[in-house]
Structure 1
Amino acid sequence: MERLGTGIGWRPEIADAVEGMPGIDWVEVVAENACPGHLPESLVRLRERGVTVVPHGVSLGLGGADRPDEARLHALAERAQALGSPLVTEHIAFVRAGGPLTASPRLEAGHLLPVPRTRDALDVLCENVRIAQDALPVPLAVENIAALISWPGEEMTEGQFLYELADRTGVRLLIDVANLHTNHVNRGEDPAEALAELPLEAIAYVHVAGGFERDGVWHDSHAHPIPRPVLDILTDLASRVSPPGVLLERDENFPEPAELEGELGAIREALEKGGATAAAPSGIPATGTPSAQAQAQAPAGDPTRQRLALALAETALLSALVAGTPVPEGFDRVRLGVQARALASKRADVVAKVAPELPEILGTAYRPAFLAYAHGHPMTDGYRRDALDFAEHLLLAGRPEEAAIRGELREWWLERSGPAPRSLKPTVRLARATRRVLLRR
């Protein structure tokens, strides 16, 4: 595995700071935010300097019951090729549920949700990972996620689950030590035990990030300084293996460049303290191919039944979180309530980013209005559609009450809904209408 060194998550808000930081060997970019034909100039300059860029996907949903979407895989492959990346990464999570498998409406989480650690779910995940590996031009690494909730009836620890996944598929692992800390606080899982069970030689690189605790729940915010327990887990990891790369993640509340550089320095100190000595191999082939033992232990379950069962379970959970349906048996109702509120809050934040005119038009009324809307209206087709549906919902309800604000909201909605925005020139509208006719042939 190529050694990456020390890196930082590239975000537009800190692009200039990242370019000027000393000791940055590589950066990671959210794959869905990178357009291969229109890469940000900052990323182009970093690549020209020899800085490695790794695309990090967030929407593939490898832990879902459906097979990976071909269009999403193609898009991820395009970004890897455009960036000249040595690998791509995604998450061990599901992000949507429902649809044809369950004969129910498609639901979007807008967030990474945990996969049940069961044999059947692992079989589905392994097949999905193999499909993704076959479609990608470079190796794939998958990340352990942070979770607020636990599935009932789990059959494996996180370390055992990741070990089997790597052993059976040869996939690399992206280990997030902040997520290990999150799962320690929220699910009572010992980070040291998880590290002891991991196939350490399968690690592609490591994530480090900050968060905060509220009412006994740890929120993996990526918007706060790295806490000492997370650095201690990194030190523990570095005492077991020398990770090929370590990356600082920061997605919100960006501090001054000097503070980010200080956090990078703390990461380096934690690595040095751990000794960065690799552990003895534990059986996972370093070649990235499944072991003979893993190939001999083929899944014994019925794949169709496994996918249907997982689809029903994940749909029931996601529906409880975003549509207010009954909590599935065995889940902690209080903890599910915390997760549901967190999802709605994140959804409001992201809609405000993709449609910044909405909080400008509605002012302080935006957030309470959106949270009330989200409670009974699950997201089904991405955040931009969500923004339009929210505005339409308000207008149909005769809100806002102030005629001037309602008129401004109506103009915003009319401008963006429908096949052709009203502000386009007639020649542009004609060209788009012609293209739509041709595409239907």
Structure 2
Amino acid sequence: MTAGIDATHDPALCSWVDSANDPSIDFPLQNLPFGRFRYGGEPQWRIGVAIGDQVLNLRQAGLVDHDDMNRLMQSEPRERRALRQAISEGLCHGSARRNAFEAALVAQSAVELGMPCEVGDYTDFYVGIHHATEVGRQFRPDNPLLPNYKWVPIGYHGRASTLQVSGTSFHRPMGQVKAVDAAQPVLVPSARLDLELELGIFVGQPNAQGVPVRMEDAEQHVFGIALFNDWSARDIQSWEYQPLGPFLSKNFASTVSPWIVTMEALEPFRQPFLRQAGNPEPLPYLDSAGNRARGAIGIQMEVVLQTARMAQAGHAGDVISRSNFAEAAYWTIAQLIAHHTVNGCALRAGDLLGSGTLSGPGEEQRGSLLELTTGGKNPITLSNGERRGFLEDGDTIVLRAYCDREGARRVGFGECRGTVLPTFEGTGA
């Protein structure tokens, strides 16, 4: 990896799109995240880039000759950088291409935003060491982390068919649940429905089957990052997960934000990848000088809980957790790619890697209700007096994130929003 700061990151750059110059906006000229949108009533998704509160139609602006997001994601890094440069120059204040670009702009509020790409496969990792430790402590007080955790990036293969874009509601899942003192399980709606504060890492360039990706090359295969909420039914999970891990407790719904913030946009927020003393050094295939020097990314994240009563009263909801990716993650993005492919597994453009729950070390930094409420034993009290151990029907969770540091323009991720509906009435118990 080499530092990729260039003219597109200049914090002094301003756009002729006025909304992009608001210091609090998620999508300034220095960001330029990619996603898909479509106009009302049409079936075809188009490739767009968010700028302020607008969407730039890349094909209409003459920047691409197709509307295939997965094809674009396969581009080589140099091609992606060239495209970013062209978009930046066209949207920059004083651009000679303003007229052509202006005709290709549409308000985000006037279009439908979809899943940012077609996701063929989805893998969920478990990189949040504070989350893993706290959850492990609830079930194994004397041995919260299993012996393999600090040696191997733990993950499982999820279900791509139930990934959904931000703003989509989902039904509370049914599943088998067994009480500790019960003779047999029963089929019931989950009573311990939870959120998980995660990031979603999107694969760009594929690798050939049988050909592992080296650490030095790993991030060339990553297109960018979005927000990700891997909803979880904890009561179903506790009964089903042994011996093969999560199944129906995880695959009923996972919510993805519509904009992929590219790795190029995140360059100014790189940090050294450091572990606390006493932790083992990673095996050689999971280590590189570049990863140690700048493998971490400082991403501030937060969770908002809005109950149905809050929504009815016009209350936006309470922030119940804040954490930082660099502080929460035991493994880097490059390490996830290198490990996922070391056995010859082929990754394809559009594949999604979930980070796992990204909790910080403090109580207020926990990224799930399982942690925030100690398994429901200590419910949190919200600002309107309501209490929550786990999610109730009508609750909405909103994830937000941004990168910010002195000498760089703030870059945001938009929001990742989902609402819990009652269990589907046609399900028999």
Alignment TM-score, normalising by the size of structure 2: 0.25
Return the structure number with greater relative CO, CA threshold 8 A, min gap 6. 2
- Structure number, greater radius of gyration: 1
Which is richer in helix?
1
Q: Which structure's residues are more often strand, by fraction?
A: 2
